[in-house]
Chains A and B, each alone.
Chain A
Amino acid sequence: MLSLLGVPVLLFGLAARLNPLLVVTAAAIVAGLAGGVPPFALLAAFGKAFNDARYISVAFLILPLIGVLERGGLQARARVTVARLRALTVGRFLLAYLVLRQLTAALGLLSLGGHAAMVRPLIAPMAEAVGDTYLGSGDEARSVLIRAHAAAVDNVGAFFGEDIFVALGSVLLIQAVLGQNHVVVEPIHVAFWAIPTALVAFAVHAARLALLDRTLSRTAAR
């Protein structure tokens, strides 16, 4: 029960705006020692879990490619491409990406999107260029709002699309966790019950993108 002390350490550290690396490590130390794990075993477990999780950081391998393409004007080119489309608004453009992201994620094609691979080089500069085309040039606050929404659309689309695909990690994890509790389910049924939430999430976020358009137009008119 004492191992729960790690949780308030996390909450306090986040609230105090301390560096998250230090907060996370402190939480691990407190939870481990309070949970009765000997210091050296704790350090070894921390090291092993970090080593086993290296696959997560492999995603940074794409950065040199993105950097070289940016050097060759990828973002500039992306802006030019959408600046010609006069009927587009920021919200409608991001909605199109949401549709694409959610559908491809539902087909198991998660690698078609992502913040490093798609949002930074293409989606964010395109969304900003769309805004500049019909709203006129804007300030930093507008740029921040649009870029944050570009990042958000990628997450919403991926999260509420991927669970519809049977063979992805999350559906298989749900099946395994239920199995550990002696409950047998078919992956296809798990994937099926992700569909209602996918529809709700799409409707909600589409409405919010429409609201984003209204906010942008109102601030631009002022």
Chain B
Amino acid sequence: MIRVDVVYDVVGAMFASIAALSAMDRANARRGFNAAFWALLAAAFLFGNVLGDLGNGVLVLMLVLIGGSGRLGRSHPATTSEVEREAVAARHGPWLFAPLLIVPVVTVAGSFIFKAIRIGGAPLVDPGQVTVISMALGVLIALGVAIGLLRAPPAAPLQEGRRLIDAVGWAAILPQLLAALGGVFALAGVGRAVGDVFGHWLPLEARIAAVAAYGLGMAAFTMIMGNAFAALPVMVGAIGAPLLIGRFGGDAAAIGALGMLCGYCGTLMTPMAAHNIVPTALLGLPPGTVIRAQAPTAIVVLLANLALISLLAFRS
């Protein structure tokens, strides 16, 4: 059975190559830091399963210290000029867009097809990871097509990939680090403690107060954790299930769905979320600009959600 580890090996090989190219980049005065950072991330992907939990912990700490030191340099590998790009683009026309479409097509097709293929009774591809595996396959096919179409030199994918990942820099590991923080918070009982605060210390006798605490709590806790998925178990356990569903008899499906959507409003407003960090880095934007573009929508939708919970979950 093909497991997601194959994809991790490919990603690890990519980061290892980027680390090697970084080490050889004489134009970057801080090449040592870049090389070490990407090499450690490569190790996490290539050897994560054999390092053990403690080994992975040490590896994360080293990544954090190098990334957090502010010493990562920005590389400028040789690429094409704007004039050259326009000339190449004029030659290929709309075909340039084709490789970009191959990725989603293969991802979607693969998700359906791989689930159906079984060899000797066992599935060919791990059913739980079929989307990630199909996406990686789609990227590799698209890359092959793009190189053939553009007759790019063999080193181009890695050098261009290095140009872009260096633009993201230390922020590249933040989404994964936030997931790790969620794991530690769960172990330390942060969710339970927040639930206790909301459940016992706030006066939630009135239904409207409970609705407000649930929806605003989802948004606030999501902003702190950077992720609505981490906030939902806490708020449903503290307020949603015992009060809104239990005491006030609300519609469980509506309360669950709208609670998650309140959390998404928090995601739109927090500097902790990967959904705001990655585009800020990839588009070269000043900090906070993406959140400022999203916040007014998020606040209005959050207030609308509170009204929708009151209206839709308590219809009778």
Check B236 against A178 for contact (C-beta < 8 Å): yes
Q: How far is the CB of A172 from chain B (nearest CB, A)?
A: 11
Distance in angstroms between the alpha carbons of A61 and B258 in the assembled complex: 33
Shortest Cβ gap from B84 to chain A (Å)? 8
**Is B146 a contact of A72 with CB atoms below 8 Å?**
yes
Contacts A6-B190, A76-B89 given; does A50 touch B293 at CB 8 Å: no
| Complex contact A174–B172 (CB within 8 A) | no
Query: Can you list, as one digit per residue, whether each of B244-269 has a CB less than 8 Å from chain A (1) or not (0)?
Result: 01000001111011111100100110
| Contact A73 to B88, CB < 8 A, known contacts A49-B179, A163-B261, A205-B297 | yes
Given known pairs A51-B56, A197-B301, A200-B301, the reply for A178 and B256 (CB within 8 Å) is yes
User: Does chain B have a CB within 8 A of A11?
Assistant: yes
Grouping DSSP codes into helix (H, G, I), strand (E, B) and loop, the B interface class, with mixed when no group exceeds half, is helix
Count: A-B pairs, CB below 8 Å: 428
A31 to B64, CA, bound (A): 17
Whether B157 sits at the interface, judged by CB under 8 Å, is yes
Q: Residues on A close to B: CB < 8 A?
A: 1, 3-4, 6-7, 10-11, 14, 19-22, 24-25, 27-28, 31-32, 34-37, 40, 42-58, 60-77, 80-81, 109, 111-112, 115-122, 124, 144-145, 147-152, 154-156, 159-160, 163, 169-171, 173-175, 177-178, 180-186, 189-194, 196-197, 200-201, 204-205, 208
What residues of chain B have their CB less than 8 Å away from a CB belonging to chain A? 4, 7-8, 10-11, 14, 41, 44-45, 48-49, 51-61, 63-64, 67-68, 70, 79-80, 82, 84-90, 92-94, 96-97, 99-100, 103-104, 107-108, 129, 131-132, 135-136, 139, 142-143, 146-147, 149-150, 152, 156-161, 163-165, 168, 170-185, 187-190, 193-194, 196-197, 224, 228-229, 232-233, 236-237, 240-242, 245, 251-254, 256-261, 264, 267-268, 271-272, 274-280, 282-283, 285-286, 289-290, 292-294, 296-297, 300-301, 304-305, 308, 312
CB <8 Å contact, A151 and B165: no
Residue of A nearest to B300 (CB): A204
A154, B267: Cα distance in complex, Å: 13
A–B pairs, 23, beta carbons within 8 Å: A3-B185, A6-B190, A7-B190, A25-B177, A32-B187, A40-B54, A45-B57, A47-B58, A49-B184, A51-B53, A64-B158, A65-B103, A68-B147, A68-B157, A73-B80, A77-B92, A115-B278, A115-B283, A120-B283, A151-B285, A159-B261, A181-B240, A200-B305
- The answer on a CB contact under 8 Å between A163 and B68 is no
**A60 adjacent to B11 (CB under 8 Å):** yes
CB distance A174 to B175 under 8 Å? no
* B261 A160 Cβ-Cβ under 8 A: yes
Contact of B139 (CB < 8 Å), options: A14, A21, A62, A118: A62
Tell me if A's interface is mostly helix, strand, loop or mixed: helix
- Whether the Cβ atoms of B229 and A50 lie closer than 8 Å is no
In the complex, residue of chain B having the shortest beta-carbon distance to the beta carbon of A185: B253
B44 touches A54 (CB 8 A): yes
Within 8 Å CB of A51, what residues of B? 44, 48-49, 51, 53, 56
Q: Is the CB of B108 within 8 A of A109?
A: yes
Question: In the bound complex, do residue A115 and residue B279 qualify as a contact, i.e. CB atoms below 8 Å apart?
Answer: yes
**Residues A50 and B177 in contact in the complex (CB < 8 Å), given A21-B170, A109-B108:** yes
Distance in angstroms between the alpha carbons of A196 and B103 in the assembled complex: 31
The answer to whether A64 and B143 touch (CB under 8 A), given A48-B56, A53-B179, A185-B256, is yes
B252 and A178 contact, CB distance less than 8 A: yes
B276: which A residues are within 8 A, CB to CB? 151, 155
- Find chain B residues with CB under 8 A from A42 CB: 184, 187
CB of B285 within 8 A of CB of A144, answer yes
- The one of A62, A156, A184 that contacts B294, using a Cβ cutoff of 8 Å: A156
Question: Once the chains are docked, how many angstroms separate the CA of A14 from the CA of B293?
Answer: 19
> Is A28 within 8 A of B180, CB to CB?
yes
A121 to B86, CA, bound (A): 14
For B85, the closest partner residue in chain A by CB is A73
A66 to chain B minimum Cβ distance, whole angstroms, is 6
Given the interface pairs A57-B173, A159-B268, A185-B253, the reply to whether A50 lies near B280 with Cβ below 8 Å is no
Q: Are B157 and A119 in contact (CB under 8 A)?
A: no
Bound together, the chains give a CA A91 to CA B202 distance in angstroms of 43
Q: Is there an interface contact between B279 and A20, defined as CB atoms closer than 8 Å?
A: no
Query: Can you add 6 more A-B contacts, CB < 8 Å, to A62-B139, A204-B300?
Result: A7-B190, A67-B159, A69-B100, A74-B96, A116-B282, A173-B260
